[in-house]
Chain A
C-alpha cells in the first residue's frame, strides 16, 4: 500500500479522465454524477478503513448533505449548485466534528455500531418529521451554475457533472496529500497499535477525529451532489442499508489509492444499473453475490488487479 499516489497522474490524468466523461452519452451522465457523489463518500470511508475503522452509518453525513441542499434554498436565496454543495459539505463536516468527540473514543465493532446508532436516530427523526416530507422526502429546487440557469435538463446534468468532477478532483488531491503527510501515514500505525502511536507522542484520538471530519465532509458533499442530481431527497439515503452499500463499495474498490474509490463507485453503479435493468427481482442477490466474491477472491479490491498488473514493471513497491 503506497501511502501517496504519483501526483502527476492525479493532477493531470484524473482531470483528463473526468473531462472525457463529459462526452458520455446522455443516459450515462447521470450515472457518472451519482458515481462521483458516492465515490466521495467511499473516499472518506477508505480513509477510515486505513485506520482500521468502519462506519456503518456514513449514510448519516450523506443524508445530512442531501437534506441541507433541500432545506437551504427554502430560507436563503441560494441556488448555485457549487455553493450549495460546499455549504452542505461544511455543514456535514460540522456534524461530524461534533459527533467526532464521541466517535473518536471507539474502535472496531463499537465504532461501527455507534455510527449506526447516530444514523438511525437521524433516520428516525426524518421519518417522523412531517415538515420534511416524512418517508416520502421532498423535491429539491432547480439549481443554477455560476448565475447560469440551464433550460434543458441534459445541459443541467452536464453542468452538474462538471461541478461533481471538480469537487471530486479537489477531494482526491486533498486526500492524496493528506495520506502522504505525517498524520496520514499514521493511519496504518493507529490500525496496528494505537498505544505505540501514543508513546511516539501523537494523539491517536485527534488523528481519528480529523479523519472522521474529513470523511463526514466528503460524504456531505456526495449527498448534496446526489440530491441535486436526483432532484429529490428521502430518508432512504440515511438508512443503514445505504450505509452498508458504501462499505461494500469500499471493499470492492480497495483502499490502496485515492482513485480506487472513484473507480469502484463507477463499477458499482454500472453493476447496479444493469442488475436492476435485467434482473429487477434479483439485484440484491447479484450485489450480495458480488460482495462475497470480492471478499473471497479479491481481498484487495478492484485496485489490486491494477496493482498486480503493474507489479511486473515496478519492483513491487506496494505491500498488498
Chain B
C-alpha cells in the first residue's frame, strides 16, 4: 500500500513536469508538423537560466516568493528569444521541405544549442534549492513530500485547463484548431497561418523553458539534462498521439507512472520501460492513443 501511494505520487510529480515539456512539443507538432528535437535544449536553457537567476535573486535579498514569478518571466523571455531565433530565423525558410528534413534541422539546432549551453554555463552543476524548501513539506502517512512538488502538479493541471479553455472557448483558439486540422484549408479561409506558426512556436518554446525553469530547484542542473528530457518527451508525444493535447496528458501520466513504478519495483528496467510502452502503443495504435487514422492518399 505504501509503495502504491509512493508510486502514485511520484508518478504524478514526474508526469506533471513532463507534461509541461510534452505539451509544448505536441503543440508545435500539431500546428506545424515539426518534431522539434531542439525542445530538449529549451528545457535545458530554462533550467540553467532559472538556476542562475534564482541564485542571483536570493543573493540580492529580493522577496523570497518573487522567485516563482522570476521563473515564469525567464521562461517567457527565453521562449520569445527561441521562437524568433528558430522559427522566424531558421524554420521559416524550411517550410515545404520534407518532414524528416525539418526534424534534422531541429536536430542540428539541438546540437548547436547544446554547445552554447556549455559555453555559457560550463560543465559544472548548478543548484537552486531555495524555492524548493520555501513551501515546506507535507506528510502522506509516513511519506514526506515537498509542497513544491504538489504545486508542480497544480501547475500542470492549470496549464491543461488553460489550454483547453484557450482552444475551445476563445476565437483565436478555435482558429488555431482549424489550423491544426487542415493548414491549407485554414489559409484558404483567410487565416494568417504564418503568424499562428510563429505564435505557436513561441508558446511551445515557452512551455519547454518553463518545464526546465520549474524543475531547476528540484534537480542538479548539469550538462545532458536536455537530452534526457527530450527522449522522454518524444515517448509521451508518440504514446498520446503526435499533436494531440489530451494525448500529451495521458502520455505524460503513462510515462510518469511507468517510470515511478519501475523505480520502486524493478529499477533495472527503468530506462527502457518507457520505450517498451511506446513500442506497444505503436504496435497496436500506430497513430498514438488519441489520434484518428488518416485516410490514405491515392
Binding site for B on A (CB under 8 A): 54, 102, 105-106, 108-110, 112-114, 116-118, 120-121, 123-125, 127-128, 193, 195-196, 240-241, 244, 247-248, 251, 281-285, 287-289, 291-292, 295-296, 299
Contact = CB atoms under 8 A, between A and B. Distances in A.
B269 interface: yes
A105 B105 contact: no
Interface in B98-148: 99-101, 103-105, 107-112, 114-116, 118-119
Contacts of A284: 111-112, 114-115
Contact of A281 (B94, B108, B115): B115
B103 A110 contact: no
A54 B103 CA distance: 11
B282 A106 contact: yes
Interface of B is mostly: helix
Nearest to A291: B108
Contacts of B235: 117
Given A247-B107, A288-B107, A288-B109, 9 more contacts: A106-B286, A110-B286, A124-B273, A125-B272, A240-B231, A244-B107, A281-B119, A291-B105, A292-B105
B254 interface: no
Contact of B286 (A105, A247, A291): A105
Given A123-B272, A124-B271, A284-B112, A109 B99 contact: yes
Residue in B101, B275, B283 whose Cβ sees the most chain A Cβ within 10 Å: B275
Nearest to A106: B286
B13 interface: no
B104 A291 contact: yes
Contact of B103 (A112, A123, A124, A288): A112
Contacts of A289: 108, 112
Contacts of B94: 295
Nearest to A108: B99
B278 interface: yes
Contacts of A120: 231, 271-272, 275
Contacts of A113: 234, 238, 278, 282
B231 A295 contact: no
Contact of A108 (B37, B100, B269): B100
A291 B283 CA distance: 32
